[in-house]
Amino acid sequence: MEINVNFLDNLRLEAKFDDFTVITDQPIRYKGDGSAPSPFDYFLASSAMCAAYFVKVYCKARDIPTDNIRLSQNNIVDPENRYNQIFRIQVELPEDISDKDRQGILRSIDRCTVKKVIQTGPEFQIEQVENLDEDAQAKLGCQRILIVDWDVHHGNGTQDIFWADPDVLFFDTHCAAPFYPGSGNLNEVGAGLGEGYTVNVPLPESAGDIAMEKAFRDILIPAADRFEPDLVLVSAGTDPHHNDMAFNLSYNGFAVLTSIVLGIAEKHCDGRLVLVLEGGYNLTSLARGVHTMLSVLAGGDVPELMECGLREVLEAAEFHRDAFEEE
């Protein structure tokens, strides 16, 4: 996420991101006007609020009311070294919460993103540039990117990277847990500003063309219409083919999915579409699957999808019809 900072009067600063603005100041003893929290205050608040957010997510999923849950955080500063601090997060839980949920709530606080990032130790890259607008995203001319992942495995890495990013809409159809990697539940929808920008469609192992087409038409297309991407990227695995790991896609299925993402790219972003090869462990369906995608991108025909075998039944019925009809 890009945060742009502007210098205001005296020591006041303004940070802008998305549609939000945050203002900071310094206390009078540090020559500020005390008109707003300091940058570090916001940082401390972000840690406490992130912890509370994970409590909320835990409780929401289990219908546990949060009215009587209290959470506070104190930072205890080492007098010898002020950069050495303990963040003590305390939580008060009402009596009617079970032991299991008490443990669950504490564990959920432990998952706090701010905490994890601090503990991993973010790398700071400080550099002088000629022109701030000429960064990579500006050069690409992209503000909003749609990533479609039809690989049969859940795209857990992509989901993690863009989990809290409202500039990237991630749509993923995949074989549901316990199939590897086991993530991608319906309720994994992103967090913070990125809440609602992760769309998972977990499907049973035998899901086929019709189910996938419906997921793309009824979920992906409306989501894309609302998001209005200016670039569409596809994790175009061929492992949902019926010769491969799981799922029951035919080559016609790949043709239709390709035509749908192509349609989205044409409607919203002058056809800016990139298909990137992902899983595909059967070399025949890998080769023919890619050929099918390329032929649709090159303007080839897109067949109508039918339940597996139905087309053959219709052909057989036609073949045998004469034998049963009276002269």
By CB under 5 A, name the binding residues for Zn ion. Answer: 151, 153, 237, 239, 279
CB of 83 to Zn ion, least distance (A): 44
Measured at CB, which residue is nearest to Zn ion? 279
Contact 238, 254 (CB under 8 A): yes
Looking at the Cβ atoms of 229 and 237, the one nearer to Zn ion is 237
Looking at the Cβ atoms of 263 and 279, the one nearer to Zn ion is 279
Looking at the Cβ atoms of 65 and 181, the one nearer to Zn ion is 181
Looking at the Cβ atoms of 155 and 229, the one nearer to Zn ion is 155
Q: Is the peptide bond before 178 cis (omega within 30 degrees of 0)?
A: yes
Contact 170, 149 (CB under 8 A): yes
CA 212 – CA 151 distance, rounded (Å): 11
CB of 246 to Zn ion, least distance (A): 9
Looking at the Cβ atoms of 241 and 268, the one nearer to Zn ion is 241
CA 307 – CA 204 distance, rounded (Å): 16
DSSP 1: -
CB of 180 to Zn ion, least distance (A): 8
CB of 264 to Zn ion, least distance (A): 22
CA 244 – CA 241 distance, rounded (Å): 5
CB of 159 to Zn ion, least distance (A): 14
In the chain, beta strands by DSSP E: 4-7, 13-17, 20-24, 70-78, 81-92, 145-149, 168-175, 198-203, 231-236, 273-277
Indicate the burial class of 107 (C-beta count within 10 angstroms; 0-12, 13-18, 19 or more): exposed
